């Protein structure tokens, strides 16, 4: 195995390898949620090829005294230069970012290497809340020298996704058009989590892996907190309920968002109270922020970070865009931990109760949505043109809501998906059958249904559908095992 310490990330590894083999200088930006493993990936792939590495330091309220903040970051940058080989005896500490990048150039000019990898981690923190100086000098360093050397690979990473997008990826200043590659690092899938468990001595059932994913998500940092000597129930109890530090960890997810960081937390908290999401107008009312530019920007940044998603909800007079919290860690924290003191044994007392199954039922639906490519493969759908939520009424006036609808024009089929979490096979009752039939009839009569399309009822369950008198209503079945399939192709 070429990179034995890396789980998954095949596409990202391939990209980094390709950049190293190129015949010119490369400038790559990697961004994604905190704790997702950005710098770890670069360090594992490039290893000793990294000739200089620096990391920004988060400073609470750093925007209140920028000069002190800048000096701290410059000092750390200088220390990294010395550790990388620059002579401390002949090198004065830089007082500005122009001097800092001139020192970096001097260091690189003295290194004889075919390819020179530079890693700047947590760039948003290094640049600080008044980032224009640092970014301007970084752009000048690249444009005036590094790009023309043809052997430099500059990798910048950042967890403050909004900052990375505004100041690097979509920059219209010195960095405009200079990036040669952008990588957005996503959480692990169920399949990748399974590889992690097996590699680290866990002998878990997929049912337990599912529960763990619904609590922690596919975030490598959180998976590293698991102990194979404990059950999943014990692990969740220890990580979430027995340590007061969990409250700070929730806030740390949003650390580094200098602009309106409290507003990001406000949005996430209010969405945590409405599992199926809220419209922008509803969010605006809940957090007392006007709809429009500012709120739209906040929501876009949270979407780019992978914290929330936007999806269309049909059924009313017009299509509504609904924003839903999809970060599993944040959802679990807000549902069970927020405002409570740490105490051992709480999760053990919750597990298996109606409270547990209500949470699991909701969160399993989100787990399915996050694994749509696997569902598409299982159902052998050629392509998915839309996935959305729909509500309406059947011809006899009964209300109906479908939480996941998949439309395939290639297959001329609309797939109505029912998602159910149970500890065993799901037994469809007479009431279920009547409810499903009502949904099918309501959707078939709606304007959303293409009259040339067939309709299929799909049951997505943990353990499958039990045989029974009413099971015949189901056209296709997807089980938890199907969601563990490995797949690199992205859904439309």
Asked, for residue 2, whether it belongs to a domain, the answer is no
**Whether residue 386 sits in one domain with residue 459:** yes
pLDDT value for 28: 97
Asked, for residue 3, whether it belongs to a domain, the answer is no
**Whether residue 270 sits in one domain with residue 217:** no
Within 10 angstroms of residue 338's Cβ, the number of other Cβ atoms is 13
Interval 119-168: pLDDT, tens: 999 999 999 888 889 999 999 999 999 999 999 999 999 988 888 888 89
Asked, for residue 5, whether it belongs to a domain, the answer is no
Asked, for residue 280, whether it belongs to a domain, the answer is yes
Cα gap 233→236, rounded to integer Å: 5
**Whether residue 227 sits in one domain with residue 142:** no
Q: Which residue has the tokens 């209010």?
A: 270
Per the CB < 8 A criterion, the answer to whether 33 and 159 are in contact is yes
What's the predicted TM-score (pTM) here?
0.92
List the 152-158 sheet strands across, edge first: 50-55, 116-121, 152-158, 26-31, 181-184
pLDDT value for 119: 98
Q: Cα–Cα distances in Å, from 5 out to 9, 41, 42?
A: 11, 9, 12
Of 327, 361, 334, the closest CA to residue 240 belongs to 334
Residue 155 belongs to domain with CATH number: 3.40.50.300
Interval 337-365: pLDDT, tens: 998 887 888 999 999 999 999 999 999 99
Q: How confident is the model at residue 63 (pLDDT cuts 50, 70, 90)?
A: low
Q: How confident is the model at residue 404 (pLDDT cuts 50, 70, 90)?
A: very high
Contacts with 295 (C-beta within 8 Å, 6 or more apart), sequence order: 280, 283, 284, 289
Residue 461 belongs to domain with CATH number: 3.40.1350
Cα gap 389→391, rounded to integer Å: 7
Of 241, 253, 259, the closest CA to residue 165 belongs to 259
Interval 433-462: pLDDT, tens: 999 999 999 999 998 999 999 999 999 999
Lowest mean pLDDT among 77-81, 103-107, 239-243: 239-243
Number of domains in the chain: 4
Sign of CA dihedral 377, 381, 382, 383: negative
Domain range for residue 264?
A: 254-326
**Whether residue 459 sits in one domain with residue 375:** yes
**Whether residue 276 sits in one domain with residue 401:** no
Q: How confident is the model at residue 256 (pLDDT cuts 50, 70, 90)?
A: low
**Whether residue 41 sits in one domain with residue 169:** yes
**Whether residue 447 sits in one domain with residue 346:** no
**Whether residue 202 sits in one domain with residue 227:** yes
With pLDDT > 70 as the criterion, what percentage of the chain qualifies?
Answer: 96
- Of 184, 216, 232, the domain-final residue: 184
- What is the maximum span of the chain, computed from C-alpha positions, in angstroms? 86
**Whether residue 343 sits in one domain with residue 309:** no
Please compute, for residue 285, the number of CA atoms within 13 A of its CA located in the half-sphere on the CB side.
4
pLDDT value for 489: 42
Residue 312 belongs to domain with CATH number: 1.10.10.10
Per the CB < 8 A criterion, the answer to whether 307 and 327 are in contact is yes
∠ Cα 442 448 452 (to 5°): 95
Supply the mean pLDDT for the chain: 92
**Whether residue 240 sits in one domain with residue 288:** no
Q: Which residue has the tokens 């597990």?
A: 351
**Whether residue 127 sits in one domain with residue 59:** yes
With pLDDT > 90 as the criterion, what percentage of the chain qualifies?
Answer: 77
pLDDT value for 491: 38
**Whether residue 348 sits in one domain with residue 201:** yes
pLDDT value for 259: 59
Asked, for residue 488, whether it belongs to a domain, the answer is no
∠ Cα 359 365 366 (to 5°): 90
Separation of CA 439 from chain center: 32
Asked, for residue 127, whether it belongs to a domain, the answer is yes
Per the CB < 8 A criterion, the answer to whether 157 and 38 are in contact is yes
Q: Which residues, in sequence order, are bridge partners of residue 55?
A: 121
């Amino acid at each position: 195995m070429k990179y034995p310490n890396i789980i998954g990330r095949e596409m990202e590894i391939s990209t980094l390898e390709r950049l190293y083999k190129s015949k010119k200088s490369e400038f790559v930006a990697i961004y994604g949620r905190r704790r997702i493993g950005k710098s770890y990936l670069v360090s594992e792939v490039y290893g000793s090829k990294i000739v200089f590495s620096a990391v920004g330091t988060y400073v609470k309220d750093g925007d209140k005294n920028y000069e002190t903040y800048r000096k701290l970051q410059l000092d750390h940058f200088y220390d990294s230069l010395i550790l990388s080989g620059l002579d401390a005896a002949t090198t004065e500490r830089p007082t500005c970012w122009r001097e800092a990048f001139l020192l970096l150039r001097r260091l690189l000019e003295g290194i004889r290497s075919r390819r020179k990898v530079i890693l700047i981690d947590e760039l948003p923190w290094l640049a600080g809340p008044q980032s224009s100086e640092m970014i301007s000098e970084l752009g000048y360093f690249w444009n005036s020298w590094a790009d023309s050397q043809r052997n430099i690979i500059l990798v910048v990473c950042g967890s403050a996704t909004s900052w990375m997008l505004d100041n690097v990826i979509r920059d219209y200043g010195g960095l405009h058009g200079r990036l040669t590659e952008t990588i957005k690092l996503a959480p692990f899938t169920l399949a990748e989590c399974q590889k992690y468990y097996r590699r680290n001595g866990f002998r878990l059932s997929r049912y337990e892996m599912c529960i763990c994913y619904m609590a922690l998500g596919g975030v490598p940092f959180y998976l590293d907190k698991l102990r194979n000597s404990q059950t999943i129930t014990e692990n969740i109890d220890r990580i979430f309920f027995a340590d007061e530090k969990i409250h700070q960890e929730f806030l740390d997810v949003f650390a580094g968002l200098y602009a309106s960081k409290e507003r990001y937390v406000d949005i996430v908290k209010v969405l945590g109270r409405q599992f199926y999401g809220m419209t922008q107008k509803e969010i605006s009312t809940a957090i007392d922020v006007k709809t429009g530019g500012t709120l739209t920007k906040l929501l876009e940044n949270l979407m780019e970070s992978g914290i929330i998603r936007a999806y269309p909800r049909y059924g009313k007079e017009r299509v509504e865009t609904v924003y839903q919290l999809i970060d599993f860690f944040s959802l679990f924290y807000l549902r069970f931990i927020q405002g409570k003191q740490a105490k051992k044994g709480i999760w053990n007392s919750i597990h298996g109760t109606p409270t547990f199954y209500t949470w699991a039922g909701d969160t399993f639906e989100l787990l399915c949505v996050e694994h749509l490519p696997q569902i598409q493969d299982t159902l052998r759908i050629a392509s998915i043109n839309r996935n959305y939520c729909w509500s309406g009424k059947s011809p006899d006036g009964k209300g109906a809501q479908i939480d996941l609808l998949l439309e395939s024009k290639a297959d001329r089929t609309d797939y109505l998906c029912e998602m159910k979490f149970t500890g065993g096979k799901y037994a469809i009752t007479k009431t279920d059958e009547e409810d499903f039939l009502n949904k099918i009839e309501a959707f078939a009569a709606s304007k959303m249904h293409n009259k040339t399309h067939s309709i299929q009822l799909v049951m997505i369950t943990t353990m499958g559908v039990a045989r029974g008198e009413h099971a015949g209503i189901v056209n296709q079945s997807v089980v938890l095992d199907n969601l563990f399939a490995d797949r690199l192709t992205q859904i439309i």
